[in-house]
Structure 1
Amino acid sequence: MATTLTKHERNLSAIIHASTFSKYFIPFGNFIFPLLLWTANKKEYDFVDYNGKQALNFQISMLLYSILVGLVSIPFFIGFWPDVFDGDFFGFHRLSDFNNLNIHISSDDFRFGRFFWPVGITGLLQAGLIVINVVYTILATIRTNEGETFKYPFTIKFIK
């Protein structure tokens, strides 16, 4: 890295990190905008080159982790599907009971238990990945704007 960084380099690096938040508005914006900014400026500034690689590697890593968490839950859903086709699953045989307004909730009748455990666990893991993504992207944006180098944790180096 250069010993003296211009304001332009710091701002551009911070914008590269902050542009990953565009994924909440534009599909794959977290890859498109940082990639455009990085490729346009990577040959001129070493600091921008370093930060562009860091931001893209982190976003690709987070996507990979998110896909892996989703894949972990697939066996649970496959085990759940045969129960869906059971005639008693949704309780259609008891529709006449609703005329009596005899509402009784029992944990024994809760047939979705096997379905909600993997959804809850993978949902918490996905929420954790979102929190990690947001927190470290904000930290990277702030630190690069101050002229410091920032290295994301949990990052696989796809772009070297």
Structure 2
Amino acid sequence: MTESQWLNQQEMAAWTAFLEASHLVERRVEQQLRDQAGLSHPQYEILVRLSDAPEGELRMTELAEKVVTSKSGLTYQIGRLEKAGLVHRRTCPSDERGVHAVLTDHGRRKLREAAPDHVNLVRSSLIDQLSAEQLTTLSEGLSTVAHKLRTGETG
């Protein structure tokens, strides 16, 4: 085992700025979605992913990967969305062990209603706070981190 290398001043500043900004934005997004749409942020993201999928459905394992959650966490959220009539589950036609989450018409309407306020909040809380250059740097940097974490390229 190698000895830990402490963060230098620049690295610590980047880490703490990332934590503070991500927590503040997430808190605002979560509150706005709950107050205005009756959804949690994970539930909203599930609806978005299903809306973007062909025919509005995805296999549960693929959906869990896309929203970066555990299978049990996704199952819980899908259960809540099902009770609200926003999604339903169906058996995978090619593999009876597989289950698909399917966006309902009610789910599509809910997403259309919630999206404008959500996008306005994302804009005002994050996007509009940064220059085009900063957005590019942020996007490229965080995409690199996500890719390396997904592929196991980190130490």
Question: Is TM-score (shorter-chain normalized) higher than 0.5?
Answer: no
Question: By percentage of residues, which structure has more strand?
Answer: 2
TM-score by length of 2: 0.29
TM-score by length of 1: 0.28
Q: Which of the two has higher C-alpha Rg?
A: 1
